[in-house]
Amino acid sequence: MSEARRLAVEVRKHCAEREKLSEKNAFWRLATEGNLCTIPGAKEGALAKHKEAAAIEMSPWQAPSMEEQAARIADLCGWNSAEQDKLADLYLPR
């Protein structure tokens, strides 16, 4: 798990650098930040970031891709099915 935490710190740094830029596809960064919140168990932070990402207009394939990745990480991190459904529902209207 220490390797996962080290990688999470590195990814957070990359996300912070991207946030300073005017991003065309900010939803990818936001979804990644949501996934990073999932790993340490910050569920509300994860849901907030994914909600923000899902609110941005994107191609039809991108929302299911983000939802699938988020669901896999949430499952691996021990989220229960109701919590996973809440996360998935953010991307459903797409």
In a domain, 62, yes or no: yes
Write down the pLDDT at residue 21: 67
In a domain, 34, yes or no: yes
Q: Averaged in consecutive runs of 10 residues, what is the pLDDT profile of the chain (94 residues)? A: 78 80 80 88 92 92 93 93 94 74
Cα(23)–Cα(74) distance, integer angstroms:
26
CA nearest neighbour of 37 among 23, 55, 22, 52: 52
Write down the pLDDT at residue 22: 63
pTM tops 0.75, yes or no: yes
Q: How many CB atoms lie within 10 A of CB 30?
A: 23
Write down the pLDDT at residue 32: 92
Find where tokens 């065309």 sit: 24
State whether residue 67 is helix, strand or coil: helix
Write down the pLDDT at residue 34: 92
In a domain, 59, yes or no: yes
In a domain, 94, yes or no: no
Number of structural domains, the chain? 1
Write down the pLDDT at residue 16: 82
Please give the residue range of the domain that contains residue 20. Answer: 2-89
Cα(90)–Cα(30) distance, integer angstroms:
13
